[in-house]
Amino acid sequence: MIAKFVIIAFILLEASNVLALYFAPGSKRANAVGVFSAWEKSKQYPEIHDFVKYLVYWVAGAKLIFLFLLGGIALLGDLNLQRLSLLALAVATLSFFWRLFPLIRKMDREGQIAPRNYSRVLGGMILSLVGLFLLAALL
C-alpha cells in the first residue's frame, strides 16, 4: 500500500509540473521555467523562443507519457512491480545530479535564476524524493 501511495503522490506532484509547463511555462511555480532569466530573454528572439517553447513542451509530453505508465503500474501492477518502479524512479531521479544540477547551480551562481539559491532548494527536494522512493520500495 505504501508503494502505491508514493507512486500516486508522485504522479500528482509531477502532474502539476506538466500542467505548468503546458499552460504557464513562464511561471515560477511547479518547477516551470520562469525561474530562469533566459526564458524572458528568449522572447526577444522569436526563433529562439519558439525553440525553447518546443523543448519545454517536449519535456511536458515526455513527463505525461511517463506519468501514464506509472499510473498503470500503480493501479494494475503487483507489489513487486511497484517496488521495482520505485527503485527505477530513484535511480533515474539521481541522474539529475549528473548533468542538470551542475548546470542549474552554475546558472544560480551567475544570477540567471530567481529566486537565488533555487538550485539548492531543488537539489534538496530531488534528493528527498530519491530517499522517499527508496524507503517506500523497502517497506
Q: What is the per-residue pLDDT across 21-30, written as a single tens digit (0 to 9) for each?
A: 999 999 999 8
Q: Which residue has the cell 533566459?
A: 38
The count of domains in the chain is: 1
pLDDT value, residue 30:
85
Nearest to 70 by CA among 139, 31, 112, 13: 13
Residue 89 pLDDT greater than 90, yes or no:
yes
Across the range 44-72, mean pLDDT stands at 97
Helix (H) or strand (E) holding 62: helix 46-76
What is the residue-averaged pLDDT of the chain? 96
What percent of the chain has a predicted confidence (pLDDT) above 90? 96
Task: Band the pLDDT of 42: cuts 50, 70, 90.
Answer: very high
Tell the residue number behind the cell numbers 534538496, with chain if given.
Answer: 124
Total-model pTM: 0.89
Give the domain range for residue 37.
2-138
What is the Cα–Cα distance from 133 to 139, expressed in whole angstroms?
Answer: 10
Q: Which of 50, 59, 52, 48 is nearest to 21 (CA)?
A: 59
